[in-house]
Structure 1
Amino acid sequence: SPVPGYQPCDPQIICNRVNHVQTCLEELEELAAKRRKELEDSRQLWTFFQEMEEAEAWIREKEKILAAKTCGRDLSSVVTLTNKHKSMLGELGNRRALLHQTMKKGEKILAKKTFGSVGIQEKMREVCLRWKKLEEITGLHQQRLEDALNFFQFSAETDDLVAWLQDTYRIVSSDDFGHDDYSSQALLRKHRAVVDEVEKHRAAVLALRKQLALLAPDHRQGVDVQIRVVEVEQLYGEVAEVAVLRTQWLQDALAVYRMFSEVHACEVWVDEKEQWLEKMEVPEELDEVEVVQHRFESLDQEMNSVMGRILDVNQVVQQLVDGGHPSSDEVRSCQDHLNSRYGQ
C-alpha cells in the first residue's frame, strides 16, 4: 500500500536530471582535457625557453673561454691547448645535438600556434646566430692552434738540426789525425760514416725553405725565423766544407804514415843486406860459390821489388809536397834519406 504523504516523481523529470548530470560531467571532462592540454603546452613552452637559456649560457661561457685563450708560447703548451680544444670540440658536438632537439621542439610549438608562443621564432633566430658565431670562433681558434703547432714543430726541428750540425762541426774540425797507420785508418772510417750522415741531412736542410713557406703568414714572415733558416744553411755549408777538408787531411795523414811504414820496411831491408854483404866472405869452393851466386840472383829480384816500393814512396811524397802538406819538409827529408841509403 502507498506510504501516506508519498507522491511518486514523474519519470520524465528523473530522466531529465540524469541527462543534465551526464551533460555536466561531459562538459567537466572537456574542461579538464582542455586544461590538461593547456598545461602541457605551457610546460613544453617553458621547457623550450629554459633549454634555450641554458644553451645561451653555455655559448656565453665558451665565448669567454675562447676570447681569453692564447695559442701557447712553446711546443709543449701548444700541444696542451690543442688537447683541451679537442675536448671542447667534443662538448660542442654534444651540445649541437641537444640544441637541434630543442629547435625541433620549438618548431612543433610554432606549428600548434598555441597561446604564448610569441617570441619563440625570435629566440630561435638569436640562438642560431650566436651558435653560428661560436662555431666560427672555434674554427678560427683551431686554425690558430694548428698554425702555432706547425710553427713550434718547425722551430723545434730546426733547433735539433742546429744542435746536430754544431756537434758535427766539432767532430769534423778535430785536429786529431791519428798517430800511426792503424789509428789514422780507424779515424778515416769513422769520418766517412760522419760524412754519410752529413749527406743524409742535406735533404732536411734543403726542405727548410719549403716548410717555412707552408707556415701561416704571421709566422713565416717573422725576421727571426727567416734569419734562423739562413743560419742553418750557412752552418750546413761550413760543416760540409770542413768535412771534405778533413777527409783529405785524414787521407794525407794515412798516406804519410803508410809512407813512413814503407820507408822503414825498405831501410830495414837495406840494413839487412848491408850487414849480409859486410859479413860475407869470398867462397873458396865451387859449391859455396854456387850458393853465393844463387843468393845474389835472389838479391837482384828483391832489389827490383824494393825499387818499385821506393818509386811508390817517391810518388806519394811528390803528391804530398805538391798538395802543400804541413809535414812536407819531414816527408822530403825521409825520402832523401831512403834514396841515399838505397843508392849506397
Structure 2
Amino acid sequence: LQSQELGKHLLGVDALLQLQALLEADVAAQAERVRAVGAAARRFTEDGQDYQPCEPAVVRERVATLELRYQALVDLAGKRRARLEESRRLWKFLWDTGEDEAWMKEQERLLSSEDVGRDLTSSLRLLSQHDAFRGEQSGRAAPLRHALAQGRALVAQGLLGTTEVAQRIQELETHWEALNGLAGQRERRLREAVAFFQFQAEATDAEAWLEDALRLVASPELGRDEYSTLRLARQHRELQDEVRGHRRALEALQEQARALTAAFAAAPGVSERLEELGKRYRELEERAERRRRRLQDALSLYTMRSEADACGLWVSEKEQWLHAMDIPEKLEDLEVVQQRFETLEQEVNNLESRVANVNRVAEELLGTEQSDKESVRATREELNARWERFRALAEQKKDALTSALNVQNFHLEC
C-alpha cells in the first residue's frame, strides 16, 4: 500500500486497481479478527478477576496498538486508492485524447491531399467523402469538448500530471483549429473542381446538342406537298424554340466560366470552348433562319399552286357553262339567265381577289432564293391567261345577253 507505482498507462493503472481491490478485500477481511481480539482481551482487562496472566494496562495497550495499526492500514488503503483513481483519471484523459489526436493527425494528412478528381464523377465522390468527414468531425466535437473540460478540471485541481495535461489540452486545441482550417481549404478546392468539371460536362453537352441541331437545320428536305411541308415547318418552329431556349444555357455557361477561380479559368480550352460555342450558336441561328425562310417559301409555293389549281378548276367549270349556254329568245328565259349572270359576277369578284393573291405570292417567291422560279412564272402566267380568257368570254356572253334583253324589251314596249 505504500508503493509509489501508479501505472505508466491506462491498462497498467487498471491492473493496479484490480490489485488494490484484492488488498482492500484482504484488509476488510481482517476487521472481524481485530474486533474479535478486542472482545477477547476485555476479560483480561476487567478488574476483579482472580487470575490475570498479564497486567490489564499492557493488554489494553496492545489492543489499542492493534486497532490503531489496523486503522492506519485502512487509511493507507484509502489514500492508495485515491491516488490510483487520480492516476486513472489522468491516463484515461491521455488515452481518450490520444485517440482524438491520432484521428486528427490522420485527417490532417488526408485533407492535405492535392487530389481533387479527374472528372465530375470523381470530384463529386471526393466531395461526398468530405461531407462524410464533416459529419464525423461534428460527431466528435462534443466528446472532445467534454474531454477537454475534464482535462481543465484536472489542471484546476492541481492533481497528478497537471503539466502534461495542460500541454495535451493546448496541443488538441491547436490540432482542432488546424483541422478546421484544412477542412475549409479542402472543401473550397473540391467545390472549385466540381464547378470546373461541371462546366466541362455542360460544355460537352452543349457542343453535342449544337452538332445535332446543325445537322437538322442543314437538311435539304422541304416536303413533297403542302401537307408534308407544313409538318416540316411545324417541326422547325419547335427546333427554333429549342434554339432560343438554349441561349440561356449558353449564358449560364458564360456565368459559370466567370465564376471559376483563376487557376481553372486559365485552364487550356476554357475560353476557346466558350468562343467556339458562341460561334457555333450564331451559325445555328443563321442556318435555322435560312431554313425557316426556305420552308416558308416552299409552303408558299405549294399553297400558290394549290390555290392556282383551285382557281383554274373553277374557271374550267364556268367556261364549260358559258360555252354550253345559248341565249334564249323568250324574255322569261332571258331574265333567268340574267339572274345567273348576276350570281356569276359575285363569284367572279370573289375569285378575282384569289387570283390577285396568287399573283402577290408569286411575286414574293420570285424575289426570294426560290430555286423553282420558272415553275412559279409558268403557274402565274397560265392562271392569268386563263383568267383573261374567261373574263373575255364572260363579257362576250354578257354583251350577247344584254343585246337580247334590249331587243325583247323593245318588242315589249312596242
Amino acid corresponding to residue 286 of structure 2 in structure 1: E
The reply to whether residue 218 of structure 1 matches residue 263 of structure 2 is yes
Q: Offset at 1:35?
A: 0.9
Q: Does residue 72 of structure 2 align to residue 22 of structure 1?
A: no
Conserved? CA contact 2:130–2:187, under 8 Å: yes
Q: CA deviation at 1:255?
A: 1.3
* Native 8 Å contact 2:202 2:253 kept in 1: no
- Which of the numbers 169, 188, 194 marks the counterpart of 2:239? 194
Task: Work out the percentage of aligned pairs sharing the same amino acid.
Answer: 39
1:104 is matched with which residue? 149
Alignment partner of 1:160 is 2:173: no
Match of 1:182 among 227, 233, 245: 227
5+ residue gaps, structure 1: none
* Selected match of 1:147 from 192, 195, 220: 192
Whole-angstrom CA distance in 1 between matches of 2:209 and 2:49? 127
Deviation at 1:260, TM superposition (A): 0.6
Shift of 1:7: 4.2
Equivalence for 1:48: 93
Deviation by residue 1:212-239 (Cα, 9 ceiling, x = unmatched): 2222222223241222222222222222
Superposed CA offset, 1:117-155 (max 9, x none) = 443222332333233222222221111111122222232
Highest RCO, 1 vs 2 (Cα 8 Å, sep ≥ 6) = 1
Task: Quote how far apart the aligned CAs of 1:115 are.
Answer: 4.1
CA distance in structure 1 between the partners assigned to 2:321 and 2:354 by the alignment: 21
Structure 1 residues 299, 116: closer, same or farther in 2, change over 3 A?
closer
- TM-score normalized by structure 1? 0.89
Residue deviations 1:2-24 (CA, integer Å, cap 9, x gap): 87xx4464433333333323322
Alignment counterpart, residue 72 of structure 1, candidates 105, 112, 117: 117
Find the aligned partners of 1:206 and 1:241 in 2 and give their Cα distance: 18
Alignment map for 1:75-154 (pairs within 5 Å): 75-154=120-199
Of 328, 334, 338, which residue of structure 1 is paired with 2:373? 328
The answer on 1:263 being equivalent to 2:308 is yes
SS of residue paired to 1:182: helix
1:259 deviates by 0.8
Q: Is the 8 A contact 2:312 2:386 kept in 1?
A: yes
Greater mean alpha carbon deviation, residues 69-78 or residues 36-45:
69-78
1:77-99 deviations in Å (ceiling 9; x for gaps): 22222222222222222333333
Equivalence for 2:346 = 301
RMSD between aligned residues: 2.5
Do the aligned partners of 2:112 and 2:186 also contact (CA within 8 Å) in 1? no
Hey, what's the Cα distance between the residues in 2 that align with 1:274 and 1:104? 113
Unaligned runs of 5+ in 2: 1-47, 390-414
Number of aligned pairs?
342
Sort the Cα spacing of 1:305 and 1:108 in 2 relative to 1 into closer, same or farther, 3 A.
closer
Please give the alpha-carbon distance, in whole angstroms, between the structure 1 residues aligned to 2:59 and 2:150: 50
Is the contact between residue 93 and residue 147 of structure 2 (CA under 8 Å) also seen in structure 1? yes
Partner of 2:287: 242
> 8 Å contact 2:90–2:160 — kept in the other structure?
no
